[in-house]
Amino acid sequence: MEGQIADLKKSEVELRMQNQKLNQIIKNLGRKLIVRLPISLESLEKGLTYDLIFPDEVESWSRVANGVVVDVRPAHEHARGSIPNSLNIPFDQINLKLNLLTKDQPILVVCENGIKSVSACEVLNAKGYPFTYVLKGGMSMLRTEENARAQVTEVETQKESVANL
């Protein structure tokens, strides 16, 4: 009997935690709808506290969200290539540099492959930053997308050149 009571209490605690997380997701979703920020359906389906931005959406996100891009890679990686006007705050310094960010501003967090971005968003959400986004696949996927677009453009240019002959 005592074991069952302990299990019920454990289940109650887990349900309360899940309820708090869902309430936070709904609250953030409402805020995003009010200020017309992008919302990722994949994030909603997975119950994530952050939204996912795909590489081909970065440019439009920047225009619509009027937010800041935070690159959590080390400074030497950021220097080798980054999203224009991004703010470099290495992951291990995120807690120390929260003063550079405002809580009502959308934040797109990027890293090399998307993993540290997720962790950084979880830190930001825990500190009260409700409008966080992760670049799905990170800078490596963004570079792949950009290279593919450049190849398509090159092929189209070559076709036009041949057609004009």
pLDDT in tens, 69-125: 999 999 999 999 999 999 999 999 999 999 999 998 999 999 999 899 999 999 999
Query: What is the DSSP annotation of 122-143?
Result: HHHHHTT---EEEETTHHHHHH
CB 118 within 8 A of CB 36: no
pLDDT band at 137 (very low <50, low <70, confident <90, very high): very high
What is the model's pLDDT at position 155?
Answer: 58
CB 130 within 8 A of CB 33: no
Which of 47-51, 135-139, 156-160 tops mean pLDDT? 135-139
Query: What is the DSSP annotation of 77-132?
Result: HHHHS--TT-EE--GGGGGGGGGGS-TTS-EEEE-SSSHHHHHHHHHHHHTT---E
Question: Could you tell me the residue range of the domain that residue 84 belongs to?
Answer: 2-163
What is the model's pLDDT at position 38?
Answer: 59
CB count within 10 Å of CB 32 equals 18
Q: What CATH number is given to the structural domain containing 75?
A: 3.40.250.10
What is the model's pLDDT at position 157?
Answer: 65
Q: Which residues of 50-68 are buried (b: 16+ CB within 10 A; e: fewer)?
A: bbbbebebbeebbeebebb
Q: Is the pLDDT of residue 34 over 70?
A: no
Looking at the structure of the chain, the number of domains it has is 1
For residue 129, what are its two tokens? 């930053």
pLDDT band at 7 (very low <50, low <70, confident <90, very high): confident
Q: Give CA–CA dist 64/83, Å, rounded.
A: 16
Give strand pairing partners of 71: 88, 110
Q: Give CA–CA dist 139/55, Å, rounded.
A: 8
* 144-156: average pLDDT: 65
Tell me, what amino acid is at 134? V
Query: What is the DSSP annotation of 15-38?
Result: HHHHHHHHHHHHHHHHHHHHTT--
* 130-151: average pLDDT: 82
Report percent pLDDT > 70 for the chain. Answer: 78
